């Protein structure tokens, strides 16, 4: 037992004595997601179009979560949290993502109109989730309306949980009704 304790102490001392490596600076850009060829989506049945929309919505929601993570990583207490938000959202990468993602999801709307009654509730939930994603971008843009970062994060988390719930519900519906 003494040898093991001594060995642990030696390893700990050696680890503390090593030069600390500096990490690469944090990149504030997240690669933009590719867009699906919507002409191929139009040729699918309604369930296939709704599934493609759900997948694209989920991917863009995950992308926003990454961007929120960047905001949190630059809001480290050394600067006002509003400055950290501004640092991220004023970058062209963030602005391009917000504009292109919301416009891309909007292009699905004509393909999702006239839902068969069997898919109407799923469509309504997913379209409402798209609205929540848009609302999350608006919350971040309007960060100055919040006195504290946790209050803004609470709103973002509520939207994220709601989006994820509708995606999970739709996944269960597809597994139950479409897949053999």
In a domain? residue 16: no
13 contacts: CB under 8 Å, gap ≥ 6: none
In a domain? residue 12: no
In a domain? residue 49: no
52 contacts: CB under 8 Å, gap ≥ 6: 36, 41, 44, 108
In a domain? residue 45: no
Residue range 36-59: mean pLDDT, rounded: 96
Would you state the pLDDT for residue 180? Answer: 72
Please spell the DSSP secondary structure of the chain, one letter per residue.
-HHHHHHHHHHHHHHHHSPPPPPPPPP---PPPPPP-HHHHHTS-HHHHHHHHHHHHHHHHHHHHHHHHHHHHH-SSSS-HHHHHHHHHTSHHHHHHHHHHHHHHHTTHHHHSS--GGGHHHHHHHHHHHHHHHHHHHHHHTGGG-SSHHHHHHHHHHHHHHHHHHHHHHHHHHHHHT--
Over residues 123-164, the pLDDT tens digits come to 999 999 999 999 999 999 999 999 999 999 999 999 999 999
In a domain? residue 178: yes
Over residues 13-46, the pLDDT tens digits come to 444 444 445 566 678 899 999 999 999 999 999 9
Number of domains in the chain: 1
In a domain? residue 33: no
Domain interval for residue 72: 64-180
In a domain? residue 130: yes
In a domain? residue 170: yes
Q: Which of 101, 95, 171, 88 is nearest to 130 (CA)?
A: 101
- For the ranges 74-78, 137-141, 158-162, 168-172, the lowest mean pLDDT is seen at 74-78
Q: State how far the Cα of 174 lies from the Cα of 180, in Å rounded to an integer.
A: 10
Does the global pTM surpass 0.75? yes
């Amino acid at each position: 037992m003494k040898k093991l304790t001594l060995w642990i102490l030696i390893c700990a001392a050696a680890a503390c004595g090593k030069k600390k490596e500096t990490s690469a600076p944090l990149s504030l850009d997240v690669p933009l997601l590719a867009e699906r060829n919507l002409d191929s989506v139009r040729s699918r049945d309604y369930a296939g179009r709704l599934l493609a929309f759900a997948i694209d919505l989920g991917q863009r929601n995950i992308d926003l979560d990454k961007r929120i993570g960047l905001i949190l990583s630059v809001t480290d207490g050394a600067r006002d949290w509003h400055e950290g938000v501004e640092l991220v959202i004023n970058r062209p990468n963030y602005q391009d993502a917000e504009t292109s993602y919301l416009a891309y999801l909007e292009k699905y709307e004509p393909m999702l109109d006239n839902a068969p009654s069997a898919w109407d509730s799923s469509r309504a939930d997913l379209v409402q989730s798209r609205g929540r994603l848009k609302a999350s971008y608006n919350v971040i843009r309007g960060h100055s309306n919040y006195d504290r970062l946790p209050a803004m994060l609470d709103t973002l988390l509520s939207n994220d949980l709601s989006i994820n719930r509708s995606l999970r519900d739709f996944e269960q519906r597809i597994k139950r009704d479409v897949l053999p």
